[in-house]
Every structure is written in structure tokens, then in C-alpha cells.
Homo-oligomer: A and B are copies of this chain.
């Protein structure tokens, strides 16, 4: 009795979960195990997923173990420098091949019976060669580790189980123009400051996923402490009144990726004051360089970016954005405890671990060619603002579990997430980039786009 692929076992249809008229999403999607399993196939089995940064495995033989959706994988660099992503499950009897989180080896030998695999996942052989313990059913060629399709962007290692789906280029679509300003702007590019922090969160991955694209509005309430301590220059009420940092440009896409561009002076009006008024892009960039860009690197920007990108980077740089389904990156313009404008560059991954849990990964980046001293300052500042001990994000990680547990009860799972407040497309005159552009107060447009993309994946193949 094959169940209907677009209908849950209680008779609810998948498209009934997302009401496109009222822009509501049933909270049931945050707790339902059946829906979760479909997501693992239809989203994490199809989309391009960020697993690592190439700088984590600089040398041949280097590897790290990660999870692509809920499946363990090995991310390796082979002797020719090519990066591979292979399922970390032995084709023999299902043992985990690599049990460490990182290391360097040319041969991955499974502990259980000793089957060995190369960095590219291909099968070497089984111990006691003469006995042909790999059997006579399958040729050695077909006994390698299951490979994922791999593609890099700005050093980020993307992988997907879909070998015939869209290319990474197609997957990224319009956001590439914007993200290049952050990930592809210098000769040597970014490097990761070591491996990611890992934290288990007792919540469904989408509580963080929907927020990642790009809930600007929650800042003044959930992260209200930023205002209460005068971070945004000014004290409580006044700040709320004009909520400066809430104004900027949101960009969304059909693919579910989205970002926010905010004139830095909006965020730090008090600090920057009028100092930036009427300056050229280059003058602005000198005074308030993007996080990670040091004077020696400034010239490189024009080498890698178009005039329009440079202007945007100077006047309304991207400050937060995501890759559908489970990535959030944040580029923070802010002074450190000493008052220096150091800035922080971080990226999060929300790795599903069942309907009620996800793992919260945090990577920090610096420009490879930045001075060591700058790198150390950015590490400290990134830690202060992002990840496990972050003064900002600890509020998020305490919030997600509430949403998830609220979605369990018979009443709770009937409630909805609402995206009622839209700006509506209003692309400014001569705006250089693509995507759906929403200028003004940061509202629900982008997050709603995220859910529409989610819906596309879940209903793919449906002939309504």
C-alpha cells in the first residue's frame, strides 16, 4: 500500500501546511516526524549544502568528517588537491569509516574488517588479498564509498546527493552578485579560523532556518540588550522609535537565499554621525572598511568586484544572509570592547538531527592575507558576537527550543507562523543587483520567500 507522496498519513496534504493566501505556515512542520523524513529526502537529498571551507583541508590527504543532511560524510582533499565528499559508511557492513573529526591520511581504512578507500572514495581492497574478501558479486570499481557531487564557491565546499540537479551556479542564482562582495573580493580570499564550534540544540532545524533568511526585525526585541547598552548609539526608547538598523535593503530569491544590505551609518549613526555623508565609495571604504578588509587589502577590492559591487559594498554592504536551506552568514560591523572597529565574519550551519534536534555549527573567517594581529582580534570579536558564547546568539539558541516544543501539543501544532507584514518589491532606481528587492524597514518578505522555496522542494514533482 504505497502512500500518496504529497499526503501525510493522517490525511493532511502537504500543500495545506503552507497557506499562500494568508501567508501562514502550520507549526506542525516544526515537530512532525513524517514531515521531517520527507525533508531529508526532498530538501537535504536535493539541495546544495555547505559542509566546510576549503581552507580547513589545505593539504593532500587532509580530511574532516561532517554531516550532509543526516548522513555522515568525509570531506577530503586528494593527492591532486581535488576535494571529494564521500558517505562515511562502509559499503561492506555499514561501519563508520572515519571515526575522527579531522586528520590526514592517503588511505581510509575501516576498523571493522579493514576494507580500505582512497581520498577520492575509491575502493583499494580488503585484507588478505588472496582470499578476495570483497566477494564475487560486485567489481572492486563498484565498492567505493558513495560519492556526493561537489562544487566550491568562495572556498565554501558545497555538496549534494543530486547528481543531475541544477549546478551550484544555478542554485545560487541572483545572490552570487551580492555574496561575491564577501566571499570573492580578494586575491587569496577567506580562510576559516580552524574547525567549527558545534552545539546541539533541542529544536527543529527550521526554527533557525526560517530565521536565517533574514529576520531583521527580531533584533530590537530578542537582542534588545544591544540597544539597552547603547550599542546602536542611543538609549532604549529613542532607538526603538527610529530603530535605525531596521532600515536597509532586503534581497530575496526564488531559490530561498536572501540577504540584507544596511548602510553602516544606520547601525552606528551615533558613532559615525554624518562623517560618511557625500563621500565617494573609496573614501567611505577607507573610513569604514568591510569586516576583515585591512588597508593593504583595499586595493584588491576593485580587482575582484565591479564598480557597482564596490559602490554597494561602500554604501549598503550585505550584513546578513543565508543559503537555503540551513546556512546563515553574518558580517558584523561593530566596535570591539576596546572600541576598535574590527568586525566579524561568521557562518552558521543548522544540521538536522531528527525532528526535535539540530546541530549548530559556527565557522569564523578572516581574509587570508590579513595581518595575524587582525586575525586574532577578529577571532575574539567573532566569539563575542557569534556562536556558543555569543552575547547575541545565545538569545536565539534559547528561543528555538521554545518554538519547537510549542509545536508539539494538540493546540500548538495547529497554530501558525505568520508572515503578514510585507514591504513588497520596490527595487530602487538603478539598483545594480538582481533578485526580489525590498527597500525600507526589514519585514517578512524574505522569510516568506524562504518558505515558498521550502514549498517548492517539498512539492517537487507534484502535478496539481
Which A residues are closer than 8 A to B by beta carbons?
Answer: 1-4, 7, 9-11, 22-24, 27, 30, 37, 40-41, 44-45, 68-72, 87-89, 91-96, 99, 109-114, 127-128, 131-138, 146, 161, 210, 217-218, 220-222, 224, 240, 243, 246, 395, 399, 402-403, 405-412, 415-422, 441, 443-444
Shortest 5 CB-CB contacts between residues of A and residues of B: A135-B420, A114-B221, A71-B409, A2-B11, A137-B420
Cβ contact within 8 Å between B411 and A127: no
Do residues B23 and A70 form an inter-chain contact, with CB atoms below 8 A?
no
Give how many copies assemble into the complex: 3
Give the residues in chain B near A221, CB-CB below 8 Å. 109-114, 127
One of B94, B128, B132, B220 near A246 (C-beta < 8 A): B128
Q: Can you add 6 more A-B contacts, CB < 8 Å, to A23-B135, A127-B221?
A: A22-B137, A22-B138, A109-B221, A128-B220, A138-B418, A138-B420
How far, in angstroms, from A72 to B99 measured CA to CA in the complex? 36
Given contacts A114-B221, A137-B420, A402-B96, contact A69 B409 (CB under 8 A): yes
Q: A418 contacts which of B93, B96, B132 (Cβ < 8 Å)?
A: B93
Task: Classify the interface of chain A: helix, strand, loop or mixed.
Answer: loop
Contacts of A94 in B (CB 8 A): 27, 30, 403, 406-407, 412, 415, 417
A131 near B402 with CB under 8 A, answer no
Contacts A95-B403, A99-B402, A402-B95; is A410 near B246 (CB within 8 Å)? Answer: no
Partner of A89, one of B91, B415, B420: B415
Contacts of A128 in B (CB 8 A): 220, 240, 243, 246, 441
Q: How far is the CB of A348 from chain B (nearest CB, A)?
A: 18
B71 touching A410, Cβ below 8 Å? yes
Least CB distance, A228 to chain B, in whole angstroms: 13
CA A180 to CA B134, docked complex, whole Å: 34
Contacts of A37 in B (CB 8 A): 410
Residues of B within 8 A of A132 (CB): 421
> Could you list 10 examples of A-B contacts with CB < 8 Å?
A3-B10, A22-B138, A23-B137, A41-B410, A70-B408, A91-B415, A96-B406, A111-B399, A113-B217, A137-B420
Chain B residues whose CB sits within 8 angstroms of the CB of A93 once the complex forms: 210, 403, 417-418
| Residue of B with least CB distance to A130 | B441
Contact in complex: A220, B127 (CB < 8 Å): yes
